[in-house]
Structure 1
Amino acid sequence: MGSHAYARLGYGYDLGGDEGEFKTREDIESLDWYDEDLGLEESAKKVIGEFLTPEESKGVHFQTYGNLSYGYTGTMLFTGPSLSRNWVAEIEIPEITDEHRHRLTVVLETLGITPDQEEPRWLLATHYG
């Protein structure tokens, strides 16, 4: 079994994260909910599960990017439909609604973080592993 390159197009924020280099105004590692053993994604999912209803967190997910086998990885926070591809393909960009944007805002407020990125946008999370 070998490693492969993959890409996921999604709408949201790049939160960074390898070795503490998060792309947020707050020091994520100092927040009460952050557990270094779990990492950003799993720690955040626990908080989201405790404080948000399933409807509030519906369609919000995390996507890891980078070299999963050997090196740098980071985390993106996406909402709404996202597209995953591992081969060249023609894609149609899905519609992002105000509800999707609102869900991102609710999740960020719940986590108490402010991304360095000014506003959500389409991001391509590429990873190899």
Structure 2
Amino acid sequence: MHLSAHISSSAEQLHAAVQTNDAAKTLLLPAKPNGQGAAINGGELLLLALATCFCNDLYREAAKRGLALTAVRVECTGEFGAAGEAGRHFQYRAHVEAGAPAADIEALLRHTDQVAEVHNTLRQGLAVTLTW
């Protein structure tokens, strides 16, 4: 699976898109009031990526277990300091509603935490390389 993300910004216009293999999708992101960049910062989007990954993976893993989820809520938090500093204190919590015993839901949460790809990528660390 090949993924990509693109953003372009100029004169109060912002265009953001993501793609997995051949499936491209456009995202609506607000531009900064001065038109220079996005009003949403990368840290917020990183936390949203963690929340989205865990939410989607909960549904995927629940289906494998024959569990029908009726609602999922995921909240991610973290901190960023001065410019150039890495983020820290990343945490997340999830709430799942399903017609299943609490023990089954807890097992689903624990298992999904182990297989969530974005989480595992950050946990292992990765190289991010600028090319031109």
The normalised TM-score by structure 2 is: 0.29
State which structure, 1 or 2, has the greater radius of gyration over its C-alpha atoms: 2
Using the size of structure 1 for normalisation, the TM-score is 0.30
Q: Which has the higher contact order (CA 8 A, sep 6+)?
A: 1
